[in-house]
Amino acid sequence: MTTRPDPPRRAVVTGAAGFLGSHLVEELLSRGTEVVGLDSFLTGTPANLAHVVEHPGLRLVRCDITDYVHVPGDVDLVLHFASPASPVDYLKLPIETLKVGSIGTMHALGLAKDKGARFVLASTSEVYGDPQVHPQPEEYWGHVNPVGPRGVYDEAKRYAEALTTAYRTSHGVDTGIVRIFNTFGPRMRPHDGRAIPTFVRQALAGEPVTVAGDGLQTRSVCYVDDLVRGILLLASSGHAGPVNIGNPHELTVRRIAEDVIAATGSSSELAFVGRPVDDPQVRRPDTRLAAEALGWAPEVAWEDGLARTVAWFREALADGGTGSPT
């Protein structure tokens, strides 16, 4: 593989106006990389980049990458992050999710191929489905229901991984695949349906905090700054992956809800509601490969990440609930 400038001189980020995309853009700009951000604003918003939109190194372009991807000039790195990611979004947008995972990924890979750029696919722990191996190492093939409601997301990402691998083996594109486990932090949407923003919103409003099932199912949650660092390590490594990036510190959903109530100082009580179909029972990354291949380990403790997230939500919700402050 070719030697690449590190940090990259010019990067394309698809899904730039989303939760993770906006944090990646911010970090790339701070490292001196010029960024072209592509986003259709399907589930993201330009408000997520309002604080850097005047940065001379950023060009934010509205574009649906399932239609086409055209970026003039040199590009060293393509970070492909466009896709609805929250269950609430992809259940509402099943075809869009399948299209961005398939056609959108093909277009983003085509861009990397044309430019001779490194390509990083944002895959997901959802490729493991409701796992029968715990914790999940990268070698585990997963336990996914292709025709269940979550299949549109899980299978789109599994297909995207297969396509990325084929572009590497058949076209020689320098690809990397990151399997991202649940990540949280500022700029999640209060109504995106994921557990932490939902709990924080409910607790700040003094409403019951709704825990699915008995709340004994587990999640391992990673603070966004740790994830971004891991992704950029993978981007500069030349490693093909797939590599799990996530925090192996496993918590029950009930414990997450209780900690959110404590962190917000709320008097909210827990309310137990039905479990979604095919909701995974356990989730914890095996991060040995990330440690060995990238020298990566999470650094932000759950309590610290939660405190920063609560502080951000307090301000965002006070501002009208749009999640616009950064």
Residues with a known catalytic role: 153
If one asks whether residue 231 binds ligand NAD (CB under 6 A), the answer comes out as: no
If one asks whether residue 18 binds ligand NAD (CB under 6 A), the answer comes out as: yes
If one asks whether residue 215 binds ligand NAD (CB under 6 A), the answer comes out as: no
Question: Which of these, 225, 198, 186, lies nearest to 311 by C-alpha position?
Answer: 186
Neighbours of 224 (CB within 10 A): 23
CB 122, min distance to ligand NAD, A: 4
If one asks whether residue 112 binds ligand NAD (CB under 6 A), the answer comes out as: no
Q: Which of 11, 13, 28, 40 binds ligand NAD (CB under 6 A)?
A: 40
SS3 state at 29: helix
If one asks whether residue 76 binds ligand NAD (CB under 6 A), the answer comes out as: no
Letters for 172-211 (x = contact with ligand NAD by CB under 6 A, - = none) are: --------x-xx----------------------------
If one asks whether residue 309 binds ligand NAD (CB under 6 A), the answer comes out as: no
Interface with ligand NAD (CB under 6 A), residue total 30
If one asks whether residue 151 binds ligand NAD (CB under 6 A), the answer comes out as: no
If one asks whether residue 15 binds ligand NAD (CB under 6 A), the answer comes out as: yes
If one asks whether residue 44 binds ligand NAD (CB under 6 A), the answer comes out as: yes
**Which residue, 81 or 128, is less far from ligand NAD as judged by CB?**
81
Q: Which of 66, 164, 175, 202 binds ligand NAD (CB under 6 A)?
A: 66
Q: In sequence order, what are the residues at sequence separation of 6 or more whose Cβ sits closer than 8 angstroms to the Cβ of residue 219?
A: 182, 195, 250, 251, 253, 256, 283
Neighbours of 59 (CB within 10 A): 17
Q: How far is residue 156's CA from residue 158's CA, in Å, rounded to a whole number?
A: 6
Phi and psi at residue 59, to the nearest 5°: -125, 115
**Which residue, 8 or 323, is less far from ligand NAD as judged by CB?**
323
Residue pair 71/63 in contact by the 8 Å Cβ criterion: no
Q: How far is residue 126's CA from residue 134's CA, in Å, rounded to a whole number?
A: 14
**Which residue, 12 or 294, is less far from ligand NAD as judged by CB?**
12
Can you list the alpha helix ranges (DSSP code H) found in the chain?
19-30, 87-92, 94-99, 105-115, 151-171, 195-204, 224-237, 253-264, 288-294, 302-318
Q: Which stretch binds ligand NAD (CB under 6 A): 37-45, 164-172, 236-244, 261-269?
A: 37-45
Q: How far is residue 137's CA from residue 11's CA, in Å, rounded to a whole number?
A: 29
Residue pair 47/322 in contact by the 8 Å Cβ criterion: yes
Integer Rg of the chain from CA: 19
Q: Which stretch binds ligand NAD (CB under 6 A): 1-9, 78-86, 167-175, 283-291?
A: 78-86
Residue pair 115/75 in contact by the 8 Å Cβ criterion: yes
Residue pair 225/297 in contact by the 8 Å Cβ criterion: no
Tokens 């809800």 -> residue? 257
**Which residue, 135 or 268, is less far from ligand NAD as judged by CB?**
135
Q: Are strands 118-124 and 77-80 parallel, antiparallel or unpaired?
A: parallel
CB 222, min distance to ligand NAD, A: 8
Q: Which stretch binds ligand NAD (CB under 6 A): 11-19, 195-203, 234-242, 257-265?
A: 11-19
CB 291, min distance to ligand NAD, A: 19
CB 98, min distance to ligand NAD, A: 11
If one asks whether residue 245 binds ligand NAD (CB under 6 A), the answer comes out as: no
Interacting residues toward ligand NAD by CB under 6 A = 14-15, 17-21, 38-44, 64-66, 81-85, 89, 100, 104, 122, 124, 180, 182-183
